[in-house]
Chain A
Amino acid sequence: MSALGVAGGVLQAVVIVGGAPLLLGLMRQVRARLEGRAGPGVGQPWRDLRKLVRKQSISPRGTTEVFRVAPVLLVAMTLVVAVVAPLVTTASAVPPVADLFVVVALLAHATVVIALAGLDSGTAFGGMGASREVTVLALVEPTALVAIFALSVPTGSTSLPTIVGTALDDPQRLISPASLLAAVALAAVIVAETGRLPVDNPSTHLELTMIHEAMVLEYAGPDLALVELGSAMRLSVYLGLFTSLFVPWGIATTASPLALALGVVALAVKVGVVGAGLAALEVFLAKLRLFRVPELLAGSFLLALLAVTTAYVLG
Chain B
Amino acid sequence: MEPVVMSPPAAALLDVAAGALLLTAVLVVWRRDLPTILRIFTAHGLALGALVGVLAWAQRSVELGLVTIGVLAVRGGLLPWLLRRALAGAGPARREVRPVVNVTASLLAVAALVLLAFSVSVPLVELGESPATRAVPVAVAVVLIGLLVLVTRRHTVSQLVGFLLVDNGITAAGFLTTSGIGLVVEVGVALDVLLAVLVLQVLAGRIRDTFGDVDLGELRELRDR
Q: Which of A172, A295, A298, A306 contacts B22 (CB 8 A)?
A: A306
Interface presence of A177 (CB below 8 A): yes
Q: Is the CB of B134 within 8 A of A314?
A: yes
Q: Is the CB of B118 within 8 A of A309?
A: yes
Q: Is the CB of A315 within 8 A of B134?
A: yes
Tally of A-B Cβ pairs under 8 angstroms: 70
0/1 string, A180-213, CB within 8 A of B gives 1: 1100100000000000000000000000000000
Interface presence of B16 (CB below 8 A): yes
0/1 string, B1-34, CB within 8 A of A gives 1: 0000000110010011011101100100010000
Q: Is the CB of A172 within 8 A of B134?
A: no
Q: Write out the residue numbers on chain A whose beta carbons fall within 8 Å of the beta carbon of B15.
A: 176-177, 314
Cα distance, A298 to B185, chains bound together (Å): 40
Cα distance, A298 to B107, chains bound together (Å): 7
Given contacts A181-B19, A313-B137, A172 and B8 within 8 Å (CB-CB): yes
Q: Is the CB of A175 within 8 A of B16?
A: yes
User: How far apart are A269's CB and chain B's nearest CB, in angstroms?
Assistant: 25
Given contacts A175-B16, A302-B111, A180 and B135 within 8 Å (CB-CB): no
Q: Which of B94-115 contact A (CB under 8 A)?
A: 103-104, 107-108, 110-111, 114-115
Cα distance, A310 to B135, chains bound together (Å): 9
Cα distance, A172 to B9, chains bound together (Å): 8
Q: Is the CB of B118 within 8 A of A313?
A: yes
Q: Which of A298, A299, A302, A314 contacts B18 (CB 8 A)?
A: A314
Interface presence of A303 (CB below 8 A): yes
Q: Which of B26, B107, B110, B135 contacts A314 (CB 8 A)?
A: B135
Count A interface residues, CB 8 Å.
Answer: 21
Interface presence of B138 (CB below 8 A): yes
Q: Is the CB of B23 within 8 A of A175?
A: no
Cα distance, A32 to B118, chains bound together (Å): 47
Q: Write out the residue numbers on chain B whose beta carbons fall within 8 Å of the beta carbon of A177.
A: 15-16, 18-20, 22-23, 138
Q: Write out the residue numbers on chain B whose beta carbons fall within 8 Å of the beta carbon of A302.
A: 26, 30, 107-108, 110-111
Interface presence of A117 (CB below 8 A): no
0/1 string, A282-315, CB within 8 A of B gives 1: 0000000000001100110011011001100111
Cα distance, A181 to B118, chains bound together (Å): 16
* Majority-rule SS of A interface residues: helix
Interface presence of A178 (CB below 8 A): yes
Q: Which of B29-67 contact A (CB under 8 A)?
A: 30
Q: Write out the residue numbers on chain A whose beta carbons fall within 8 Å of the beta carbon of B111.
A: 302, 305-306
Q: Is the CB of B134 within 8 A of A295?
A: no
Q: Write out the residue numbers on chain B whose beta carbons fall within 8 Å of the beta carbon of A178.
A: 19
User: How far apart are B108's CB and chain A's nearest CB, in angstroms?
Assistant: 7
Q: Which of A107-162 contact B (CB under 8 A)?
A: none
Q: Write out the residue numbers on chain B whose beta carbons fall within 8 Å of the beta carbon of A172.
A: 8-9, 12
- In the complex formed, the residue of B with least CB distance to A296 is B30
Q: Write out the residue numbers on chain B whose beta carbons fall within 8 Å of the beta carbon of A294.
A: 104
Q: Write out the residue numbers on chain A whose beta carbons fall within 8 Å of the beta carbon of B107.
A: 295, 298-299, 302
User: How far apart are B126's CB and chain A's nearest CB, in angstroms?
Assistant: 12
Q: Write out the residue numbers on chain A whose beta carbons fall within 8 Å of the beta carbon of B18.
A: 177, 314
Q: Write out the residue numbers on chain B whose beta carbons fall within 8 Å of the beta carbon of A295.
A: 30, 103-104, 107
Cα distance, A186 to B134, chains bound together (Å): 25
Q: Write out the residue numbers on chain B whose beta carbons fall within 8 Å of the beta carbon of A181.
A: 19, 22-23
User: How far apart are B164's CB and chain A's nearest CB, in angstroms?
Assistant: 21
Q: Is the CB of A299 within 8 A of B115?
A: no
Q: Write out the residue numbers on chain A whose beta carbons fall within 8 Å of the beta carbon of B26.
A: 299, 302-303, 306
Q: Write out the residue numbers on chain A whose beta carbons fall within 8 Å of the beta carbon of B8.
A: 172
Cα distance, A305 to B137, chains bound together (Å): 15
Q: Write out the residue numbers on chain B whose beta carbons fall within 8 Å of the beta carbon of A303.
A: 23, 26
Cα distance, A314 to B118, chains bound together (Å): 10
Q: Write out the residue numbers on chain B whose beta carbons fall within 8 Å of the beta carbon of A299.
A: 26, 30, 103, 107
Cα distance, A303 to B114, chains bound together (Å): 11
Known: A176-B16, A309-B118. 6 other contacts (CB 8 A): A177-B16, A180-B16, A181-B23, A298-B104, A305-B111, A306-B114
The 4 closest A-B pairs by CB, nearest first: A177-B19, A299-B30, A298-B104, A298-B107
Which positions in B face A, CB cutoff 8 Å?
Answer: 8-9, 12, 15-16, 18-20, 22-23, 26, 30, 103-104, 107-108, 110-111, 114-115, 118, 134-135, 137-138
9 A-B interface contacts by CB (under 8 A): A172-B8, A176-B12, A176-B16, A180-B16, A295-B103, A298-B107, A302-B30, A310-B22, A314-B19
Which positions in A face B, CB cutoff 8 Å?
Answer: 172, 175-178, 180-181, 184, 294-295, 298-299, 302-303, 305-306, 309-310, 313-315
